[in-house]
Amino acid sequence: MTTTLLRGRTLSFLRWPETADDHSAYSYEEDGGLLIRDGRIAAAGPWAEVEKQAGEGAQRIDHRPHLILPGFIDAHVHFPQMQVIASYGAELLDWLNTYTFPEETRFRDAQHGRRIARLFLDEMVRQGTTTVSAYCSVHKASAEAFFEESHARDMLNIAGKVMMDRNAPEGLLDTPQSGYDDTVALIEDWHGKGRQHYAITPRFAITSSPQQLEMAGALAARFPELHVQTHLSENHAEIAFTQELYPWAKDYTDIYAQYGLLGRKTLLGHCIHLSEREADVLSDTGSVAVFCPTSNLFLGSGLFDYQRYRRRDKPLRIATATDVGGGTNYSMLRTMDEGYKVIALNGEKLNPFQSFWQITLGNAQALSLADRIGTLAPGTDADIVVLDCAATPGMRLRMERAGSLAEELFLLQTLGDDRAVREVYVAGRPAKSDMATPAEG
């Protein structure tokens, strides 16, 4: 039995913080302790109390004066798009056709998939992200590569091979039947193996025929405990083309509704241009709208109205995500910095406690995984990030004038990136300091 005892400033959310003064929404210990046994959090609280519970043999790691938080969660990311980031000058559909689809065809080579899966999860760890919901390519081997790498690291990740049978290059198409069969085989091989979760992943309505969406719905009915992930209402040209392809549908959301793809385990990337009717349907079904600010700005897709969605009579469940490679940064700190600006452009604010709630407990709740990840609560998995608010000269200087925890968090979000991530624990084991030379080969 391995036992580790961490010391530092621990911060873990209990619920959504209504305001920056809503101190009962989180637990914060200036001199905190975290006891980790066999990959789980055994105790958390004031150092003096937690230390008493640790046996003689516990490995002690002192992270003072740094902050210790639950690992970050990225609710929507495309691991085959690492070499698509920073592709110039296109909106969604051109960007897909010009850059993304050709790049994803390279994943027919299993060796390439294994290399990128390794580099991708290295990058996640470097950035403090301990759980992702990932899109793989259409190729079954890309999902196998992802899960092999994730399982070897004992990470809790969600992933699925994308199902796509039209409106893409030949090398990137499955069929309704092969998409179904490959998905079932992957579920049988990987879902529930260690910490792996499978997500049924029809890419979006444009690249799936009605027959394929029907098959995706059949999968969702056959495996109701699984996540479903897809894209919805990202860009005006996408919405118009989708309506042409499904003329009988009331709107874009109605397509997924009619095929039985909505529900509390459904993660819908973007959801920028929803009508009130569509937002009601998402709310009624408990489906999750995934906010991807760096992507939405980079592709010029639009401004996700976070606070309106949250405050409406029928509120939406919301997650946040990078959406790499439409997204331009792997860091959830950078993501929330851009998110703050998008929300500001909508005339609203997201306070720093709300931001850090969102990328920890908020995303865990949106993924229906808050019993396992997203907090420092005893009994949950020890996926942890250690953050240094003075990681760069500029941050150090700004810290001289930061007088409260809220200010420190906002500084971390506004100026921080992977350099602020001092250590990451995955299932209780140091993962960042243990990494070989970062992101090579």
Smallest gap, in angstroms, from Cβ of residue 105 to Zn ion? 17
In the list Zn ion, ligand GUN, none, the entry touching 145 (Cβ below 5 to 8 angstroms by class) is none
Q: Is residue 273 part of the contact set for ligand GUN (CB under 6 A)?
A: no
Cα–Cα dist 77/145, whole Å? 16
Q: 293 or 428, CB closer to ligand GUN?
A: 293
Smallest gap, in angstroms, from Cβ of residue 170 to ligand GUN? 18
Q: 196 or 294, CB closer to Zn ion?
A: 294
Q: Is residue 161 part of the contact set for ligand GUN (CB under 6 A)?
A: no
Q: 5 or 96, CB closer to ligand GUN?
A: 96
Smallest gap, in angstroms, from Cβ of residue 32 to Zn ion? 36
Q: What is the CA radius of gyration of the chain?
A: 21
Residue 169: how many CB atoms within 10 A of its CB? Answer: 11
Cα–Cα dist 12/437, whole Å? 31
Q: Is residue 338 part of the contact set for ligand GUN (CB under 6 A)?
A: no
Smallest gap, in angstroms, from Cβ of residue 434 to ligand GUN? 31
Ramachandran angles phi, psi of 155, nearest 5°: -90, 150
Smallest gap, in angstroms, from Cβ of residue 293 to ligand GUN? 12
Q: Is residue 231 part of the contact set for ligand GUN (CB under 6 A)?
A: yes
Burial class (CB in 10 A: 0-12, 13-18, 19+), 285: middle
Smallest gap, in angstroms, from Cβ of residue 100 to ligand GUN? 5
Contact window for Zn ion (CB under 5 A) among 18-26, 188-196, 269-277, 407-415: 269-277
Q: What is the DSSP string of 206-230?
A: GGS-HHHHHHHHHHHHHSTTSEEEE
- Of the candidates 204, 340, 353, 425, which one interacts with ligand GUN according to CB under 6 A? 204
Binding to ligand GUN by CB under 6 A, coded x per residue (else -) over 76-115, reads --x-------------x---x---x---------------
Q: Is residue 195 part of the contact set for ligand GUN (CB under 6 A)?
A: no
- SS3 breakdown of the chain: % helix, strand, coil, rounded to 5? 40, 25, 35
Q: Is residue 234 part of the contact set for ligand GUN (CB under 6 A)?
A: yes
State which of positions 355-384 bind ligand GUN (CB under 6 A): none
Q: Are 115 and 441 in contact (CB under 8 A)?
A: yes
Amino acid at 251: D
H or E segment and range at residue 396 = helix 393-399
Cα–Cα dist 234/286, whole Å? 19
Smallest gap, in angstroms, from Cβ of residue 278 to ligand GUN? 17
Binding to Zn ion by CB under 5 A, coded x per residue (else -) over 288-327, reads -----------------------------------x----
- Of the candidates 203, 227, 265, 273, which one interacts with ligand GUN according to CB under 6 A? 203
In the numeric block, the tokens 């991807």 are attached to 292
Peptide bond into 194 cis (omega under 30): no
In the numeric block, the tokens 């699925």 are attached to 160
Q: Is residue 269 part of the contact set for Zn ion (CB under 5 A)?
A: yes
Strands 196-202 and 384-387 turn out to be unpaired
Burial class (CB in 10 A: 0-12, 13-18, 19+), 90: middle
Binding to ligand GUN by CB under 6 A, coded x per residue (else -) over 294-333, reads -x---------------------------x--x-------
Ramachandran angles phi, psi of 419, nearest 5°: -70, -25
Residue 290: how many CB atoms within 10 A of its CB? Answer: 26
Cα–Cα dist 255/246, whole Å? 7
In the list ligand GUN, Zn ion, none, the entry touching 204 (Cβ below 5 to 8 angstroms by class) is ligand GUN
Query: What is the number of H-type helices and E-type strands within the chain?
Result: 17, 16
Q: How far is CA 168 from CA 94, 269, 317, in A?
A: 12, 19, 31
Smallest gap, in angstroms, from Cβ of residue 102 to Zn ion? 17
Smallest gap, in angstroms, from Cβ of residue 81 to ligand GUN? 6
**Binding positions for Zn ion, rule: CB under 5 A:** 269, 323
**Binding positions for ligand GUN, rule: CB under 6 A:** 78, 92, 96, 100, 203-204, 231, 234, 295, 323, 326
